[in-house]
């Protein structure tokens, strides 16, 4: 679920704990990637894409492009997918579902104004659309199949992907870095680099990397 405001806290109080680097700095590294956050980014940051059958493809296009960028930089990604959420997360999931339903209702109310060409309402509708997005098993399965066809390793976590990534990175021998769309837990993780938010939709190869610190 993450720690709200953690990155800003570090930037303000411990700026030396973070350093911007180019992806090329991670040449020949094997990295663990939290797939769920990446998929969510692609579904919200990119313009909605569909195939001829009306099926959503934004997540597939985004996953392909980002993975290709990793491979081009000589980085070997290992994608980790969420499993069954822990009981302690049930309340948070319920809140998210409620907020999503509220956004759907608000979006429905704006439909008429958007169809009439109201630009301001159109922007509001786009923000609401992003709030209605939910990553489903269909998104997961499609991305898993794509990655397998690309020859990229996929790991199904028993529960939270972030915990599985931390475990994979624990000894620091094979996997030394974890990729996240935003700064989720830094505790007891040797190296995390967070892709900038615009990475989901733009050709940005910069990454923010947390330097290894002693406990």
124 within a domain of the structure (yes/no): yes
Q: Taking a C-beta distance cutoff of 8 angstroms, is the pair 191, 32 a contact?
A: no
**Least confident range of 37-41, 111-115, 171-175, 185-189:** 185-189
> How large is the average pLDDT for residues 7-17?
82
213 within a domain of the structure (yes/no): no
> Which helix H or strand E contains 91, and what residues bound it?
helix 90-115
Per the structure, the complete domain to which residue 133 belongs is given by: 6-13+23-208
The answer to whether residue 122 scores a pLDDT higher than 50 is: yes
The answer to whether residue 84 scores a pLDDT higher than 80 is: yes
- Biggest distance spanned by C-alpha atoms of the chain: 58
Look at the chain and report how many structural domains it folds into: 1
185 within a domain of the structure (yes/no): yes
195 within a domain of the structure (yes/no): yes
181 within a domain of the structure (yes/no): yes
Q: Is 6 exposed, middle or buried (0-12, 13-18, 19+ CB in 10 A)?
A: middle
What pLDDT is stored for residue 171 in this prediction? 74
18 within a domain of the structure (yes/no): no
The answer to whether residue 212 scores a pLDDT higher than 80 is: no
CATH number where 33 lies: 3.40.50.1010
């Amino acid at each position: 679920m993450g720690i709200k405001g953690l990155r800003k806290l570090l930037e303000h109080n411990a700026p030396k704990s973070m350093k911007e680097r180019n992806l090329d700095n991670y040449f020949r590294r094997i990295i663990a990637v939290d797939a769920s956050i990446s998929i969510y980014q692609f579904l919200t940051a990119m313009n909605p894409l569909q195939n001829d059958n009306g099926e959503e493809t934004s997540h597939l296009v985004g996953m392909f492009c980002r993975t290709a960028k990793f491979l081009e930089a000589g980085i070997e990604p290992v994608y980790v997918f969420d499993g069954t959420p822990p009981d302690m997360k049930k309340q948070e999931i319920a809140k998210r579902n409620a907020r999503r339903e509220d956004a759907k209702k608000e979006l429905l109310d704006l439909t008429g104004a958007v169809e009439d060409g109201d630009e301001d309402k159109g922007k509001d509708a786009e923000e609401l659309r992003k709030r209605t997005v939910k990553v489903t098993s269909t998104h997961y399965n499609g991305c898993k199949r794509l990655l397998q066809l690309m020859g990229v390793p996929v790991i199904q976590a028993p529960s939270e992907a972030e915990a599985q990534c931390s475990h994979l990175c624990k000894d620091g021998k094979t996997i030394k870095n974890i990729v996240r769309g935003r700064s989720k837990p830094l505790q007891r993780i040797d190296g995390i680099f967070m892709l900038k938010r615009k990475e989901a939709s733009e050709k940005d190869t910069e990454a923010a990397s947390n330097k290894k610190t002693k406990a």
